[in-house]
Amino acid sequence: MRPPPGTTGPVPLPMPKFAAAARSALADTGLRRNLRGGIAAAREREAAAAAELGGWDDLREAGRAIRDAALLDLDAHLEELERAVTEAGGTVHWAADAAEACEIVTGLVRAAGADEVVKASSATTREIGLTAALARAGVTARETALADLAVQLGDDEPSHLLSPALHRDRAEIRELFRRTMPAAGPDLTDDPAGLAAAVRVHLRERFLRARVAVTGANFLVAETGTLVVLESEGNARMCLTLPGTLISVAGIDKVVPTWADMEVFLQLLPRSSSGDRMTPYVATSTGVTAGDGPRAFHLVLLDNGRTRALADEVGRTALRCIRCSACMNVCPVYERAGGRAYGPVYPGPIGAILTPQLRGVDSAADASLPYASTLCGACADVCPVKIDIPDVLVHLRGTVVESRRRRPVPPPELMLMRGLAWTMGDPRRYETALRRGTRWARLLSRGGRIRRLPGLLGKWTEARDLPAPPSESFRAWWTRRRP
């Protein structure tokens, strides 16, 4: 019997480099059409919502200042958060990495005697691979947000932080629901209201029978130990209130010091993510209250590379991120390549700077992400907490280069650059190489253009022609013309 979609499957292969992973998306005209339409609409809504506030830039500056202050004193705020959660009847667990976080959650689910959990949308649980880890333990995780459910039922990968199924149109989602949700019926249309109604019917029984819910968190308020979740469908609120055991997995970077800080973020996040003045559902949960909500609350605080990023004075600004997705909606690279080329968790410009810091740059895929950008700066212009993403990208490119220098066998690019440095370090070597190189380049040219260079140099001519060099170099011309 085949397991439920999205719960198990083959062991994922290592991600290819960004350029290789993006090729299939660039060739998929339907995908590009869906992305272009969805992103353009989101971009317009967000711009209009930001323009409504006369002091939008001042609000962004306030958000930046709060996030920076929280990160600089993160240890103190985390201790305060743990104390507040414990006093409110909750339990705090600390996870150094993804494996430890999955082990903690799996143990808590088993202790509750559950073989199924309902799950609210969470990039952090995707980051640690929780659904697959639970499946290996015999526990089925049911996504409850419409877009995440569509991704799960289709054995797909999310392509956007806010709208994981952005790469699918309504007709595709209707056909998917008709195949995988018997209660939807054959007469299901692609009307959004009809799709939402079918999902409600599909999930109602699962909500009512669930013993355990797993959520993420948009923010963690240190002074009160409060979990804050923003959403638009109400499914996360059901997860927070109906099951007897609530498990929330959140990165240590989600902490804000006080309730007063939420005044800023409850204005910034909706306008930058969905173009709304306020998110339809703002759910808050503090500990355990007798006779109301879950009987047990567990907060799993995840590091998984965040303290390493925090130690980087330039890179730590990525931890300001409030997961709004505004940077994706203005990025020309993301609009054409989609989200899956960035990996399974954090797509777009924020993924290009966050993933390499959380995972390191040892793999070819992670090392390629800082280069997945034109450095146009549009992402920095719209970021609600003023992350200078291009600056971090350039910084991480330097990190990638330095990591390659330490390899026992240098990569071909580094060997080439070392050879060039040796050649150009001596005038005679340089002039000899210039003469021979010019001769060979002119042999490769046709009509004054070189359309294909050999070997590694061929990357340059994949997208452009190279002008053939002149028969006489400037140095030779200058020597000949001097009196």
Structure tokens at 188: 């299901």
pLDDT, tens digit (0-9, with 9 covering 90-100), for 94-144: 999 999 999 999 999 999 999 999 999 999 999 999 999 999 999 999 999
d(CA 483, CA 481): 6
d(CA 354, CA 317): 10
d(CA 373, CA 355): 14
Structure tokens at 90: 């909750």
d(CA 85, CA 91): 7
- Pair 103, 75: CB distance under 8 Å: no
d(CA 42, CA 275): 7
Domain extents in the chain: 309-406, 426-481
Query: What HEC string does 53-117 produce?
Result: CCCHHHHHHHHHHHHHHHHHCHHHHHHHHHHHHHHCCCEEEEECCHHHHHHHHHHHHHHCCCCEE
Q: Which residues contact residue 443 at a Cβ distance below 8 angstroms, ignoring those fewer than 6 apart?
A: none
pLDDT value of residue 6? 41
- The overall longest dimension of the chain from CA atoms, in Å, is 99
pLDDT value of residue 47? 92
d(CA 162, CA 218): 12
What is the CA angle 478-481-483, rounded to 5?
115
d(CA 223, CA 77): 8
- Pair 154, 273: CB distance under 8 Å: no
Q: Which residues contact residue 102 at a Cβ distance below 8 angstroms, ignoring those fewer than 6 apart?
A: 128, 129, 130, 133, 134
pLDDT, tens digit (0-9, with 9 covering 90-100), for 345-390: 899 999 999 999 999 998 989 999 999 999 999 999 999 999 999 9
d(CA 112, CA 293): 16
Parallel, antiparallel, or unpaired: how do β-strands 296-302 and 449-450 relate?
Answer: unpaired
- Residue that is written with structure tokens 């999955």 in the block: 102
| Superfamily for domain range 309-406 | Alpha-helical ferredoxin (1.10.1060.10)
d(CA 391, CA 383): 13
**Quick one: which of 298, 235, 293, 226 has its CA closest to 266?**
226
Amino acid (one-letter) located at 92: V
Exposure string over 365-375, b if 16+ CB within 10 A, otherwise e: bbbbbbebbee
Task: List for the chain the helix, strand, coil content (%; round to 5).
Answer: 55, 10, 35
Q: Where are the alpha helices (DSSP H) in 243-347?
A: 259-273, 306-310, 326-330, 332-337
Bridge partner residues of 450 (DSSP): 466
Which portions of the chain are predicted below pLDDT 50?
Answer: 1-13
Give the total residue count for the chain: 483
Helix (H) or strand (E) holding 449: strand 449-450
> Taking the CA of residue 68 as centre, how many other CA atoms within 13 Å lie in the half-sphere pointing to its CB?
13
